[in-house]
Amino acid sequence: MNIATSSRRKGFTLVELLVVIAIIVALASMATPQIFKALKRAALADGVNNAKQVKLALDSFAADFDGQYPSDDTAEYVVEGGTGTTYSNDYFRQMFLGGQTESEKIFWAKNSAVADDGEPDGKVKEGGRFQADQILQEGDAHWAYITDQTNLDTGVRPLILDGYKKDTSEWDEDTWDQKVIVLTIDGSCKPMRMRSSDGKVLDGSKNDILSAQADAWDGESPADLLKQPQPGR
């Protein structure tokens, strides 16, 4: 046996190493898009689950306020002076002060274009009492909210939605891969696809779900009732 030859065969040649590296890079490039898609699908499923948890809190609130979901009117009952009327955060805050939820996390989603990168800190109480100025601060919520509705309104009316561009009322095709999350009064929650030609989300009659022509709105536009979440910095 030639000892010198045997010794030389213990390692890899430069060409062999380059081939192995090339194979690893090729496999990684094929796997990476699938990994990102899987992560986004998981985030979407988590967002849908959070929406359902928000709906439970909304229904609990409505049970305590004669069927009304959080509105300008109910704000006066949960805290003196109300909780604000600018953002969806302001209306969702009523459910903390009314005792229907203590979880900020259900109002947040990792992939949302409007939410902060980190989860809400969950610090909503001080000395055992809810503090309005600590609940759902900017960037802590990602759901848009349609106000002035009750649990007796048309069941297919959208109640909370996610998929908007930051600080706008325009859908973001990148947030959920051309989908938006829509939860309706009847409790249905599902991703709905955006129309590629104009970015609109359509109902069963091919009308924009947020237009007066949509089946849910009986000729009344919800545009003035739509409250966007307060974006993070």
191 three-class SS: strand
Q: What is the pLDDT of residues 32-72, one digit of tens each?
A: 666 767 777 888 899 999 999 999 999 999 999 999 999 99
Range of the domain at 65: 13-227
Reported as a single tens digit per residue, the pLDDT across 98-139 is: 999 999 999 988 777 777 667 888 999 988 889 888 999 998
H helices of 65-147, in order, are 72-78, 88-97
Q: What is the pLDDT of residue 111?
A: 78
Question: What was the pLDDT predicted at 81?
Answer: 66
Within a domain: 8: no
77: how many CB neighbours lie within 10 A of its CB?
A: 14
C-beta separation of 132 from 94 below 8 A: no
Is residue 4 in some structural domain? Answer: no
Calculate mean pLDDT across residues 21-26.
Answer: 83
The answer as to whether 48 is a domain residue is yes
Per the structure, the count of domains in the chain is 1
pTM of the entire predicted model: 0.84
Residue 216 counted as domain residue: yes
Q: pLDDT band for 2, please (50, 70, 90 cuts).
A: low
